A = this chain, B = another copy of it.
Amino acid sequence: DPIAPVDPGEAEDFLRRCYTENPRLGPVEPRLAVVRAQIAATGGYVHTTDELTYGAKMAWRNASRCIGRLYWRSLVVLDRRRARTADEIFSLLVAHLQFAGGGGRGTEPPKALGAIRPVISVFAAAQPGQPYARVWNEQLIRYAGYRQAGGGCVGDPRQVGFTAAMQGLGWRGKGEAFDVLPLAIETPAEGVRLYELPDRAVLEVPLSHPEYGWFAELGLRWHAVPAIANMRLTVGGVQYPLAPFNGWYMSTEVGARNLADADRYDLLPVVADRLGLDVSRESTLWRDRALVELNRAVLFSFERAGVKMSDHHTESARFVAHLRNEEKAGRPVPADWTWIVPPMSGALTPVFHRYYAEMDLRPAFYLDDDAASLARGCPHAG
């Protein structure tokens, strides 16, 4: 619950672990005394930037569904707790995307376009019992989905509800397959306001195939930065309802889910048709063949565009390295098999051939029910 008061036990657990893992922060006892007093007096406490930074890294480390955790220490944490207005938040989200995706001016010298960095922007903590700023979007960059009169859909079917909600707020999309949705930023003072992302914040990759020329004619594309916008970050009992984060894409997220799922872009029949496959029976494995070619196209196109993306074999090997590292450090690695194992060629990856401990460790990211509703375009549910 984002607006519950801070639990002093959780604050203490976090601070002890944070200071133990970071001896340079000094002894924890004096800090605990201050925090206890703050909580007693105000119901909450304020993280130092060091605490916030390490807490966000720990939340990533604890994300049991994430295969990409090997580089958890490298997370760039942007402390945006002072931002209040929707305009401020918007410009900091643009800065986040530019910084994460390269090319723009961030807080460090710009890197090459496409050299994706894992970044989180942490906005103001929720105050117990108070309304808070949030973003309705599920990710900072997503494509609109338009339900057609005939029953079909243009764009991403997953975004149909959200797109309709944006249209209800006055947004007009081009009605094409890859229209970037506006950001819906809600603040207690201003209500919800919509913002168009500028081109410089949205790096995209047009898709082509290393062998099949016709693939480019399909007019497919995908964005470079997957940035989840609606999960709550909880650190030491403090709730950060707006803390968008991004890594780089693992290719299967795009090629085996977003573009392939029957309730998303559903492209396998299209690709199979162009490949001339026999789709009269499942046993020709036409779906599997089309899937591999779609994923080859995704990887090839990102590579050619110089945009960082990893394949599921490489990312699985990294996760196994992460398991080893953490074991050496004496830490458990909570992991959810059903999310860690990639959605294609599961048994080809080393992560398939073992089990994992499932644990709800904090700091953590949670998707609240009302955040999920908002992202489906149902502002008043949940």
Taking Cβ atoms with an 8 Å cutoff, the residues of A that contact B are 251, 256-257, 260-261, 268, 282-285, 287-289, 291-292, 295-296, 299-300, 303, 311, 313-314, 337-338, 341-348, 352-353, 355
Interchain residue pairs with CB less than 8 A apart (28): A251-B283, A257-B347, A260-B348, A261-B347, A282-B313, A284-B299, A285-B292, A285-B295, A285-B296, A285-B299, A287-B348, A288-B344, A289-B292, A289-B296, A291-B345, A291-B348, A292-B292, A337-B338, A338-B338, A338-B341, A341-B346, A343-B346, A343-B352, A344-B344, A344-B347, A344-B348, A345-B345, A346-B346
| A346 adjacent to B348 (CB under 8 Å) | no
Q: Is the CB of B347 within 8 A of A256?
A: yes
Interface of A is mostly: helix
Q: Judge whether A314 and B348 touch: CB under 8 Å.
A: no
C-alpha gap A163/B311 in the complex (Å)? 38
Establish whether residues A284 and B296, one from each chain, have CB atoms under 8 Å apart when the complex forms: yes
- Interface-centre pick from A285, A295, A296, A303 (highest chain B CB count, 10 A): A285
Q: CA of A353 to CA of B262 in the docked complex: distance in angstroms?
A: 11
Q: A292 contacts B283, CB within 8 Å?
A: no
Q: Are B311 and A282 in contact (CB-based, < 8 A)?
A: yes
- Inter-chain contacts of A284 with B (CB < 8 A): 296, 299
Q: Which single member of B288, B296, B299 contacts A345 (CB below 8 Å)?
A: B288
Rounded to whole Å, the gap between the CB of A279 and the closest CB of chain B is 11
The minimal Cβ–Cβ distance linking A219 to chain B, given in whole angstroms, is 22
The distance in angstroms between the C-alpha atoms of A211 and B349, with both chains bound, is: 27
Give the 6 A-B residue pairs with the shortest CB-CB distance, closest first.
A343-B347, A282-B313, A283-B311, A283-B299, A288-B345, A288-B292
